[in-house]
Amino acid sequence: DPYANEPLRSPALIPSSSTPFNAEPPLSILVDNFLTPNDLFFVRNHLPVPIVDPKKYHLDITVQGKRKSVSFTLDDLKKKFPKKTVASVVQCAGNRRSEMVKVKAVKGLNWGAAALSNAEWSGASLDDVLKKAGIDLESLDMEHVQFDGMDMDPTGAPYGASIPMELARRLKKDIIIAYEMNGEEIPRDHGYPVRIIIPGIVGARQVKWLNKITISNEESSCHWQQKDYKGFHASIDWHNVDFSTVPAIMETPIQSAICEPANGSELEEGADEVTVKGYAWSGGGRGVVRVDLSLDGGKTWHSAELKPNNQPLYKSYAWTLWEATLPLPKDHKGKVEIICKAVDSSYNVQPDNVDGIWNLRGVLSNAWYRVQVKVP
């Protein structure tokens, strides 16, 4: 049984599949902490969790066409490079997929709105490590940076991903070869002992159990780079999809959700106001400039109060938590729908509903978030 050695997990996590293990925390806990506690951080595994001996661990760095590779041990990564820390969201491309399913079936795990979390990641910067390996991203005339994990499918092929060289150059020192998550060793589920953190980029590229970096003219040939985690319009379905026609998802669009009150919950009897809390986040380092809330289907809007995430607006990799207390409409007839939508620093907005963004893999589901509550 390849799943005989899985790590212990918090019973608070809500699994969407058990082998491989995939789970999200209860939505409401996301707004309790700016940094999601490690044991509650959502988990997205495609394969069994590998067992890695930290003493034998090494990260191999290769340039396509060159015979020699350079290796670093875990100790090297910890001692030979300055320790860099970045607070950054990891969001699965399938976050909120369950809302797309309501329009038409899609293939994928039935994620709610908590297939993302925010943590502080520490390690050596990719740039520093590559430089020590004799590689200068600025001058190297290659197209992609590939990352391979140590988790393997039954044929022995590892999970892998790549990012275009342009992104690697732009993000430079912000890409972290991480060995700590929120100040602790990275837990097994999240990539012990080392994972790559590429801030502002979709979760699928943030390879866990990282043991190989290849600078190449090719993208990663991995299934999840080539045949998955891409977006199409609603008239493309499994009979006519050609995955080679669009690029792999990297930066993701503006996203937000209401974490409190819960959908279907009941407010206090006779309540005349409601306190709403949630998260907002955008890919590409775009900060959140506004979160708008409506209690009348989008006719009128209120502004939520944004909690500072202490990151520059144009280099904002962590999420923005927000809160608002709103007067309930007088004519509510016992129930109210709360809507939220966010705006990022490029003034991108969320679409009002999921119909126009439906896609066969159910990725990038970021329509206005809606919660129904009863007012007894």
Residues that bind ligand MTE (CB under 6 A): 41-47, 90, 92, 149, 151, 159, 190, 203-204, 206-209
Count of C-beta atoms within a 10 Å radius of residue 185: 13
204 binds Mo ion (CB under 5 A): yes
* Residue 190 touches which member of ligand MTE, Mo ion, none, C-beta under 5-8 Å by kind: ligand MTE
Q: Identify whether the C-beta of residue 211 lies closer than 8 Å to the C-beta of residue 60.
A: yes
Piece of 121-129, 197-205, 238-246, 326-334 that binds Mo ion (CB under 5 A): 197-205
Choosing from 24, 43, 44, 228, the residue that interacts with Mo ion (CB under 5 A) is: 44
Judged by CB, which is closer to Mo ion: 113, or 291?
113
Q: List, as own/partner pairs, every contact residues 345-351 make where C-beta atoms lie below 8 angstroms and the sequence separation is at least 24, other chains included.
A: 345/282, 345/286, 345/287, 345/288, 345/289, 345/313, 345/314, 345/316, 346/282, 346/286, 347/289, 348/253, 348/254, 348/282, 348/286, 349/254, 350/253, 350/254, 350/255, 350/256
* Residue 41 touches which member of ligand MTE, Mo ion, none, C-beta under 5-8 Å by kind: ligand MTE
Q: Identify whether the C-beta of residue 294 lies closer than 8 Å to the C-beta of residue 328.
A: no
Judged by CB, which is closer to ligand MTE: 61, or 204?
204
What is the closest distance, in whole angstroms, from the C-beta atom of residue 334 to ligand MTE in the complex? Answer: 39
Judged by CB, which is closer to Mo ion: 107, or 169?
107
Judged by CB, which is closer to Mo ion: 44, or 286?
44
**Residue of this chain nearest to Mo ion (CB atom):** 92
How many alpha carbons lie under 13 Å from residue 47 in its C-beta half-sphere?
A: 20
The region that residue 96 occupies, defined by phi over 0 for left and psi between -120 and 50 for alpha, beta otherwise, is left
State the Cα–Cα distance between residues 83 and 78, nearest whole angstrom. 7
What is the closest distance, in whole angstroms, from the C-beta atom of residue 186 to ligand MTE in the complex? Answer: 8
Torsion 141-142-143-147 (CA) sign? negative
Torsion 239-240-245-250 (CA) sign? negative
**Cis amide bond preceding 193, omega within 30:** yes
| Token pair recorded at residue 208 | 């866990």
Judged by CB, which is closer to ligand MTE: 207, or 293?
207
What is the closest distance, in whole angstroms, from the C-beta atom of residue 205 to Mo ion in the complex? Answer: 9
* Residue 373 touches which member of ligand MTE, Mo ion, none, C-beta under 5-8 Å by kind: none
Judged by CB, which is closer to Mo ion: 44, or 277?
44
- Encoded amino acid at 232, one letter: F
Of residues 63-122, those binding Mo ion (CB under 5 A): 92
* Residue 259 touches which member of Mo ion, ligand MTE, none, C-beta under 5-8 Å by kind: none
What is the closest distance, in whole angstroms, from the C-beta atom of residue 263 to ligand MTE in the complex? Answer: 23
Show the site string, 220-239: x = touches Mo ion by CB under 5 A, - = not: --------------------
State the Cα–Cα distance between residues 127 and 132, nearest whole angstrom. 9
State the Cα–Cα distance between residues 151 and 222, nearest whole angstrom. 13
Tell me, what DSSP letter sits at residue 127?
H
What is the closest distance, in whole angstroms, from the C-beta atom of residue 162 to ligand MTE in the complex? Answer: 12
Judged by CB, which is closer to ligand MTE: 44, or 97?
44
213 binds Mo ion (CB under 5 A): no
What is the closest distance, in whole angstroms, from the C-beta atom of residue 91 to Mo ion in the complex? Answer: 8
What is the closest distance, in whole angstroms, from the C-beta atom of residue 222 to Mo ion in the complex? Answer: 13
Instruction: Give the interface with Mo ion as residue ranges (CB under 5 A).
Output: 44, 92, 203-204
